[in-house]
Structure 1
Amino acid sequence: MTGLGELVGASEYPGRGLAIGRDVDGAGFAAYWLTGRSPASKQRKLVVSEHEIVVEDLSGGATDDLRHYTAAVRADDWIVVGNGTQVAELAVARRAGQDLQLALRDHGYEPDPPIRTPRIFATALVDATEVTIGSARSLPGAEEFVQHPSLHLPVLPPGTAATVSTYNGSSGTVTVSGIPQTASLAVPWTAVADLIWQQLNPALRVALFVTPLEASTFEAAILR
């Protein structure tokens, strides 16, 4: 498999991205990163509490659901990570025992034409089993329709991650992605933040977190 760092660095502008996996020692982790082109997109920060990580505005302007949202929710035995309002809604579905691959079908891409940014998400049990990752994206060539590519992995081997990003083009030519992939990983989870951060274009990167899955809260997350 391609390395996680190589996948992250393969495009100049990945938009938002996430990864969920196990490091070389078998420890589970989740990562989420933001990049942005506009001044408003760059004026954001991550706010960590025990059971949520929220993307908040730094400019003092009005809240915008496309840029300000809950990016991660955790319970005692699971986590949900993603790039928008679907995270809180999928967490409710998870608490109700629903299959999130099916629950994802209730969601569409972001209402931001002409780009139509995919809504991405991942979920797993805290022991890094029952991993599901996917997106709601526009159908190429028939953008009024929504497709929901997803991947379910009952078990992730050590040194493996599942990852997805909203885009895979450049800042000048935004190309929609939302296609889940698997990647290899040769570092401990504590090094994943630096691995990803160094691959992001310094002119575009905004924020990043990496959190261990088995911690009881998000307060052990590493932030950039």
Structure 2
Amino acid sequence: MQAIEIAAANFDRHLVHNAYPGRGLVVGRSSVEDAWLMIYWIMGRSEHSRNRRLVIDGEILRTEPVDASLVDDPSLIIYEAIMVLPHCHLIGNGDQIRTIYETLQSGSSFDAALATREREPDAPNYTPRISAMLELHEQPGQLTMNILKANVADPAYTDRTTYRPALPPTGLGLGLTTYDGDGSPLPSFSQDPLLLPCEGDIQAVLNQYWDALDADNRIAIAVKRISANGETSELIVHNRYT
């Protein structure tokens, strides 16, 4: 099977016909220009999880509540999802992205930052923390991805898995989500990074992924376009609730 067919099959199985892949991220290469794409989306089942949107704050993408009066505990729903350092772009589903950002600023590493973090403490789901870093200091660049999830034998412990995959070809990306599907408790993502499509311009990619997500559970999505050398970027957002 060709890579593009694998990506299409993964997209169909894991997003189109999956009621709850949860939060997700994709890092890939545009099919229409020499640029990188980062995709991030939020899903939610509870009123608390649905009470948020994505907002652009300079070069930062962050979450914020739609109705601040309904927020009981902001610790797991309010965070920066995309941050940037010179020629280094970060994306993830929680405040571990701030930890990575600050650790890199101090001269340490992506792995060292995540060694200090755990899966989310939301028993019984123990939602995984998913993160990625795209480094473009030198061409063609380097992609690093990570998932922190509860150990199957004892969820008090966290399994830390880092991937350093070959860069995806034009029109394709690699993605992680928090869950394999719906359930109670929610089943943590159990696969390697999925090959997924990145076809069309930035708006077309946003529309493709938004349309694929379950209409009852999708909350917000953003796509970031990054020039091949990492020097310029563009960020767009679509929110269910404004």
Residue identity matched to 2:121 = P
Q: Percent identity?
A: 24
Deviates more, 1:118-127 or 1:12-21: 118-127
> 2 CA distance for matches of 1:128 and 1:95?
22
- What secondary structure, in the 3-state scheme, does the structure 2 residue paired with 1:24 have? coil
Unaligned runs of at least 5 residues, structure 2: none
Find the counterpart in structure 1 of residue 80 from structure 2: 70
Q: CA RMSD in A?
A: 2.2
> 2 CA distance for matches of 1:198 and 1:35?
13
Q: TM-score, normalised by structure 2?
A: 0.83
Find the counterpart in structure 2 of residue 42 from structure 1: 50
Contact 2:44 2:219 in 1 (8 A): yes
> 2 CA distance for matches of 1:54 and 1:107?
19
- Tell me whether 1:21 sits opposite 2:28 in the alignment: yes
Find the counterpart in structure 2 of residue 122 from structure 1: 132
CA shift for structure 1 position 179: 4.2
Contact 1:133 1:162 in 2 (8 A): no
- What secondary structure, in the 3-state scheme, does the structure 1 residue paired with 2:157 have? strand
Q: How big is each residue's C-alpha offset from its partner over 1:196-218, in whole Å with a ceiling of 9 and x where there is no partner? A: 11110110000000001237566
- What secondary structure, in the 3-state scheme, does the structure 2 residue paired with 1:221 have? strand
- Tell me whether 1:52 sits opposite 2:64 in the alignment: no
CA shift for structure 1 position 194: 1.1
> 1 CA distance for matches of 2:173 and 2:110?
19
Find the counterpart in structure 1 of residue 187 from structure 2: 175
Are residues 16 and 178 of structure 1, via their aligned partners in 2, closer, same or farther at CA, if it must alter by over 3 Å?
farther
Unaligned runs of at least 5 residues, structure 1: none
Task: Select the residue among 213, 217, 220 that pairs with 1:204.
Answer: 217
Q: Give the total of aligned pairs.
A: 223
Contact 1:129 1:154 in 2 (8 A): no
Contact 2:18 2:214 in 1 (8 A): no
Q: How big is each residue's C-alpha offset from its partner over 1:156-201, in whole Å with a ceiling of 9 and x where there is no partner? A: 3222311101111126652111644141426124221111111101
> 1 CA distance for matches of 2:76 and 2:47?
14
Residue identity matched to 2:165 = L
Residue identity matched to 1:140 = V
Contact 2:125 2:185 in 1 (8 A): no
